[in-house]
Structure formats: structure tokens, C-alpha cells
Amino acid sequence: MLSRLHITNFTIVDRSEVIFERGMTVVTGETGAGKSLIFDALNIALGARSETRVIREGAERCDISAEFDITNNDGAKAWLVEQELYEEDGECLVRRTLNQDGRSKAYINGKPATIAQIKTFATLLVVTHGQHAQQQLLKKDRQVLLLDAYAGHNKLLDNVATSFADYQQTKDKLAALTATHQDAAHRELLRYQVTELDELALTVDEIEQCEREQKELASAESRAGQADLVLALLSEDGDGGVIDKLARVKQEAQAIPHSERIKESLNLIEQAYIYCSEAENDIRDYVSSIEINPERLQACEARLQQIYDAARKHQVSAHELPNHHETLKNILADYEQFDENKVALTKALDEKLTTFQAHAKKLHTSRAKAAKQLSKAAADLIKQLGMPGAQFSIAVEDDLNATPRANGFDDVNFLIQTNPGQALQPLSKVVSGGELSRLALAIYVVTAEQTQPPTLLFDEVDVGIGGATAEIVGRLLRDLAKHYQILCVTHLPQVAAQGHRHCRVTKHTTKNSVSSTIEYLDNEARTQELARMLGGVKISSQTLAHAAEMLAGEEG
């Protein structure tokens, strides 16, 4: 439950701290005093959209902190543990700051948190019922959510959602397969391309081998000619070659007197002679190995040209052609198996639909049962709320031919008959503002035990209600406070008198500023406030007596 709210520089509130307890707390104040400031501030702390205009004029920053007692809130504790934000003391502090530059920061138990985290956590702490929520009641999707929450069949909802996801995924696969493979011209093109590359019969290593062979064959004559020139220089007949000259040099050098002194030089000459002789033999072997084969060269060049032409045609490099060939074959295989795959996916889709419909039927049965219970309970309350001739019913119609949805195939409609003799019609076509307020309150009260977190905020849900009906509304909220913490902004003294505690918002205007204060009232001040709400500006002794009687009745 909410235990403390600290507000700094929010709209016309300078600084205020409000302590909350269990039971029912009512908030009142004159028109324009800012009765809803407490709720507005709390909702912003819990992630509601905000603008810089909510920052008090002249202040740089607005700071709102909400402290909750989560000792008995297992859902909130589990979420905090999962997010690694849990504190063992059973208290949880949610804080949000807004700066004039538009920046916003949020914290849970002093640790930075995202707005998305705050919003998710807030659903486990507080729910607000206000005039906006009443308008939401007119929408079918909201009606389905309320009915499902009242029924409490979360397992059935999960089964339907899961089976729908399976069905939709299979449906998407079938659509993608059909869209991709229904082009007959594309299939024929693929067949032609694959056949062409099959005939090319290119292997992964062939291109490099062929390019290397072509290079060798194309340079064979020039290499052989150059090698012959080297041989001629090494061993030209007539004593003109390098080897013959080295032989003569060696012979003459050995004849030098005292040759021992140039022994090293003689060794070098000997080695040069040997190396040149060995080089001659190697080069002769190289020349003999050179293949001059114009026919083979022509064939090799023709093969390369064939490969390069195919690569250009398919807009890939020659070296990428084998992989491209494999890719096209795989795509064609998918095309060739299209009919088979389509049959398999179509069968799977039918099976997924059957599974979805089976779960949806169970959900429909549960909804229909819950709809009868909720209809009766809400109808009984509506009659107590000043609409004795009203009839309320929830229609749950199933349509197996409807497009599957994540929440089933039911059409849920909240119907009402406000006067005897009229037909039941959708809420949006019949109810007035006051009637909608009463109906919404009845539904919220009936569904509270199944659908609500520990703290419920009611923001002027009694608009359009008065007299004895207002007293009944107050009693309903007070009864609800046996199970939940109730915070209620009201303009009706009959409702305000039902509260266990009474909080008043007062606006103060000076020449240069406007501010609001929030204070709890003792019995005497509370009597004065109820008298103001009963009698307006001039408060008579009779009005005060009536106010005191109202309070005494509730306290008794």
C-alpha cells in the first residue's frame, strides 16, 4: 500500500508530505484548489507522461517520491527481486524528477530505473479509476480485459495466446513461401541458369589451375628463348662461353708461382667454375621441361573465356561462380519442392487453427460463465446506485469463422437497459455521464477482488451522482476499504463522510504567487469541511449539525 508521498515544486505545491494509512482516505477541497494534485503527482512518479509545465514556476526541478509498504505484496516483491531492486525492509521507494530542460530521471529504491520499468512496477501497486477510466469502459477491448480479469482464467488466456502465435507464425511462413515461389517465369529462369552452370561443370580449384596453366603455356616460347640465350653465354662454342673461359682462368691461375699465397682465390675460381657448370645443367633441364603446345594453350584460353563469360553473365567474379552455382541449385530445389512444402505448411496451418479453436472454445466457455456472474453482481449494485429500472448484461458471442486473435474469437459487449421496456443496447449508445459513473463504479467494485493491486485511486468517480445514491457510493467505497487501501477525490459530502481519514487541499493566492497546501483534518475541521460541502459559502448551525450527524453516523 501507499504509505507516504513527498511532493516538491509540483504545479502550485511548494513542498508537501502526505502520510497514508490503510482504509479509506478522502480528499476534498474547493473547486480549483487542486484536489487531484495528489493523484497527478503520484501518477507522474509512477511513470505517467509529464511536461515541464508541471514544474512550479520559478523552480528548476520537480521531485516526487512515493513510498510503498510491500510487506504483503508478493507480486511486487517478486518483480523487485527479478530486477535486482529488492530491499529486505518491506518498503519500496519510487522517485521521479523532472527538470526544466525536459530531462526526467526515475529511481526505484535509490537505483536508476527506466520509465518502462516504473510503469510495469506501478501495475502491481496502484490502479486509478477516474473519468478517463470510465470512458475507457465504453471500448470493447477494455470490456474484454475487465471480464477476463474478473474470470481469472490466465492459464486459458496464455494457451490461446500461445496457440495463436503458433498459428500466425505458420501462416506467415506459408504466405512467404507462396509469395516467393509463385512466379513461374522466375522458376524457369532458375532452371535455365542451373542447367547452364551444370554444363559448365566448373570445380572450385579449376579456375586457379587453368589460369596458372594458361600463364605457363603463353610464356613458354619466351622463357625457352631466354633460357637458350643464357646457355649460349655459359657454354658458347669456340671458347667464347663463360664456362670455357673459367676453365682457362683456373688453368692459368694455377700456374702462378707461389700459388699458395692465392690459394683462397684459386678456390673461389674453382667454385665459380663448378657453380656455372651446375647452372648450365639445371637450365638445360629447365629448357627440356618447357612445353610449347599451341593447341593446349588455345584450349586453355577458350576454357577460361567460357568461365569469364559465365561469371559476367551471372554478375559475380569467376572465383565466386562455383558457390553461386550451389546457391542457385538450392533455390531451385526449394522451388521444385514448393508444392510439397505448401501442402505440408497448409496441413500444419489447419492443425494450428484446430488447436487454437479448441483453446478459444474453452476460453469462450469460461468467459460466458464469468459474464453471467459479473452481469448479475453489477446489475444488483447498479439498482442500489439509483437506477432501479436498469438491466445490465454482458454478451459473449463466439464466431469460429472470425479471424483468429491473440485473445480468442469472442465478441464481448457490455449491454444496458436504463428504463423498463427498452432493449439492451451497447453502453456507448445509451448511458449518460452520471449513468456511466454509476455503472463503472459498480463494475470496479465487483471486479476489485479479482483485478486490483493493493491501492485503488478513485478520482471523482461520483460525478453526476447525488443524494441517497451518493451515500450508497460512499458506503461501497468504505466496504471496499476492508480489503484495499482506498484514496478517493470527491466533491460529495455523503462520500467524504464515509472516509476513515479526511485530507483537504487548500489554495492560497497572494499578489505574487499561488500555492496549495495538503492537510489532514481532525474531527472539528472535518465537520467544517463537510458543512462547506453541504451548504456552500454561508454555513449555518443547521448545516454544521447535519455535518456532525453525518460523521457521527459513520463513526458509530
List of long-range contacts for 247-250, beta carbons under 8 Å, 24+ apart: 247/273
Distances (CA, A) of 544 to 20, 25, 123, 236, 494: 27, 21, 41, 141, 14
Indicate whether this model's pTM tops 0.75: no
pLDDT digits (tens, 9 = 90+) for 261-270: 788 888 898 8
Q: How confident is the model at residue 181 (pLDDT cuts 50, 70, 90)?
A: low
DSSP string of 282-345, one letter each residue: HHHHHHHH----HHHHHHHHHHHHHHHHHHHHHTS-GGGHHHHHHHHHHHHHHHHTHHHHHHHH
The stretch 449-454 carries a mean pLDDT of 70
Mean pLDDT, rounded, for 44-61: 90
Please give the angle made by the CA atoms of 219, 221 and 223, to the nearest 5 degrees: 65
**pLDDT tens column, 518-536:** 899 999 999 999 998 887 6
Contact 392, 378 (CB under 8 A): yes
pLDDT in tens, 503-515: 998 888 877 777 8
pLDDT at 105 over 70: yes
Place of cell 452481469: 375
pLDDT of 188: 80
3-state SS assignment for residue 428: helix
Q: What is the pLDDT of residue 429?
A: 81
Question: Would you state the pLDDT for residue 451?
Answer: 60
Please give the share of the chain, as a percent, with pLDDT higher than 70. Answer: 94
Average pLDDT value for residue range 215-240: 80
Has residue 72 got a pLDDT over 60? Answer: yes
Burial state string for 382-407 with b = 16 or more CB within 10 A and e = fewer than 16:
bbbbbbeebbbbbebebeeeeebeeb
Q: Write the pLDDT tens digit of every residue in 243-278.
A: 888 888 888 888 787 667 788 888 898 899 899 889
Contacts 24+ apart (CB under 8 A), 449-453: 449/483, 450/149, 450/150, 450/151, 450/152, 451/146, 451/149, 451/150, 452/127, 452/484, 453/73, 453/75, 453/76, 453/123, 453/124, 453/125, 453/126, 453/127
Strand order in the sheet with 425-426: 391-398, 410-417, 425-426
Predicted local confidence at residue 161, as pLDDT: 94
Identify the residue with better confidence: 122 or 553. 122
pLDDT, position 128: 80
Model confidence pLDDT, tens digit, residues 312-365: 998 998 888 989 898 888 888 877 777 788 889 999 999 999 999 999 999 999
> Mean pLDDT over residues 415-423, rounded?
83
Residue 338 confidence (pLDDT): 77
